[in-house]
Chains A and B, each alone.
Chain A
Amino acid sequence: MQSLYVEGNSAMHRLSPRVKLLSLAIFSIVLFITGNLVLLSLAVLAAAILYRMVGLPIGAALRRLRPIFLTIAVVALFNLLFNPWQQALVPPLRLTALMLLAAAVTATTSITAFIDEVTALARPLERTGRVRADDIGLALGLVLRFVPEIVDRYQAIREAHRARGLKVRPASLLAPLIILTLKDADNIAAAIDARGIRRHGS
């Protein structure tokens, strides 16, 4: 699966994930405190510039945001019908600014960097005894490892149905898919435990 990370060397690429996430959080708070249209428009502009600097060709950059922006626009239009524009423009400006900065963070932070960051953030929670930080990377890896196998299994079940002249119905397809996939859990768990992967650390 191709991630949304874009290789590059922009200013945002060089910032650590933690700084970017913190900035995004602070940016969000500021956006929702102010109702000033000028300030919000400037925020949109600033975020747009940062997003442009990421290095994506304009077409691709816009395509990524189209579904989100369309929803923002539709809701805004709906709002404009019933409320004065000074009021109705505030939420779409906020959300657009947020969308652009968030997209810039996503495009400049690799999957590995993100996983390392989330694991590091979860590390202090290990003291409560209820969380194992490394389980996060393990769970994410497991998902990415087995998605293609599950897709293959779905195709196989569908073909088997076709071969037997059965109609394609959700229950008869999805039930075996879920059951067969989950039945693998014991074997996979045994392999993980046999390698001592979850034995170390607290």
Chain B
Amino acid sequence: MSTRDLVLTALFAAIIVALGLLPPIPLGFIPVPITAQSLGVMMAGVVLGARRGAIAVLIVLLLVAIGLPVLSGGRGGLAIFASPTAGFLIGWIFAAFVTGYLSERLINDRQSGLVQTVSFFLTAMVGGIVVLYAFGITYLATVAGLGFPKAFVGSMAFVPGDVIKAFVAALLGRAVMVGYPLLPARA
């Protein structure tokens, strides 16, 4: 990994940690504020691509594992991985990878702003919801013993919030693409 890539990845991990320290951000078009940290995780793949995005998230989880309270709310430590929702945490890595993988291949600079935004929205949904929930629900069903039907139903309540996050991530992805494009061009 080049030094530049290593630094980009570490800086994005630092952004994710910093977002965990901030209070929820009001959106304006709905009355519920969004927690910034999970938005940051959704953006890792969108901004840095598959490999660097996944590694950025891995670095954040490593910080949690070694005992730093970097998850929003000041949570951290190995005990976090014993929670029934730990699958959603592990899933972050794969969500970032898939979002990044799809973003690299679907988005290029010859497309219009609208096409890019819609494409980012799709990749954020596939990675940030489909893939993430696959890991989260599986862990909840198996390790936490809830069984797939209940784990699935129980998790659905959170999907609308994450769809909104994917939308915001798409807008942000496009804004960052305009300001400082970093996606490896594979489209």
Please say whether chains A and B are actual partners in one complex. yes
Chain A positions within 8 Å of B, measured between CB atoms, are: 1-5, 24, 32, 64-65, 67-68, 71-72, 75, 78-79, 82, 87-88, 90-91, 94-96, 98-100, 102-103, 105-107, 109-111, 114-115, 118, 132, 135-136, 138-140, 142-144, 146-147, 150-151, 154, 167-171, 173-179, 181-186, 188-189, 192-193, 198
Q: Which of the candidate stretches B6-14, B92-100, B102-110, B128-136 sits at the interface with the other chain?
A: B6-14
Contact in complex: A178, B25 (CB < 8 Å)? no
Assuming A4-B69, A5-B67, what are 14 further A-B pairs, CB within 8 angstroms?
A68-B82, A79-B146, A95-B143, A99-B79, A110-B67, A140-B63, A147-B14, A147-B21, A154-B18, A174-B39, A175-B175, A178-B15, A181-B15, A189-B2
Chain B positions within 8 Å of A, measured between CB atoms, are: 1-4, 6-15, 17-18, 21-22, 25-28, 34, 36, 39, 43, 47, 59-60, 62-63, 65-70, 73, 75-85, 140, 143-146, 150, 154, 168, 171-172, 175-176, 179-180, 182
Contact in complex: B79, A103 (CB < 8 Å)? yes
Chain A contacts for B76, CB-based, 8 A: 4, 106
Give CA–CA (A90, B70) in the complex, Å.
30
- Chain A residue with the shortest CB-CB distance to B175: A175
With A3-B68, A103-B77 as known contacts, state yes or no: A181 contacts B11, CB within 8 Å.
yes
CB pairs A–B below 8 angstroms (13 shown): A67-B83, A75-B140, A91-B144, A95-B143, A106-B76, A106-B78, A107-B67, A142-B11, A143-B17, A143-B63, A151-B22, A168-B26, A189-B7
Give CA–CA (A4, B12) in the complex, Å.
23
With A4-B76, A142-B10, A146-B11 as known contacts, state yes or no: A115 contacts B82, CB within 8 Å.
no
- Chain A residue with the shortest CB-CB distance to B9: A139
Chain B contacts for A151, CB-based, 8 A: 18, 21-22
With A67-B75, A106-B67, A143-B14 as known contacts, state yes or no: A135 contacts B6, CB within 8 Å.
yes
Q: Is the interface of A mostly helix, strand, loop or mixed?
A: helix
Contact in complex: B7, A185 (CB < 8 Å)? yes
- Shortest A62–chain B CB gap in Å is 12
- Shortest B82–chain A CB gap in Å is 4
Chain A contacts for B84, CB-based, 8 A: 71-72, 75, 91, 95
Q: A170 is contacted by which of B12, B14, B25, B82 (Cβ under 8 Å)?
A: B25
With A4-B77, A139-B9 as known contacts, state yes or no: A182 contacts B145, CB within 8 Å.
no
Give CA–CA (A102, B34) in the complex, Å.
30
With A75-B84, A142-B7, A192-B7 as known contacts, state yes or no: A102 contacts B14, CB within 8 Å.
no
- Shortest B25–chain A CB gap in Å is 5
Q: A175 is contacted by which of B11, B59, B146, B172 (Cβ under 8 Å)?
A: B172
Contact in complex: A106, B77 (CB < 8 Å)? yes
- Chain A residue with the shortest CB-CB distance to B22: A154
Give CA–CA (A102, B22) in the complex, Å.
27
Give CA–CA (A165, B86) in the complex, Å.
41
Chain A contacts for B150, CB-based, 8 A: 78-79, 82
Contact in complex: B62, A102 (CB < 8 Å)? no
Give CA–CA (A140, B63) in the complex, Å.
7
- Chain A residue with the shortest CB-CB distance to B182: A182
Q: A147 is contacted by which of B17, B82, B143, B146 (Cβ under 8 Å)?
A: B17
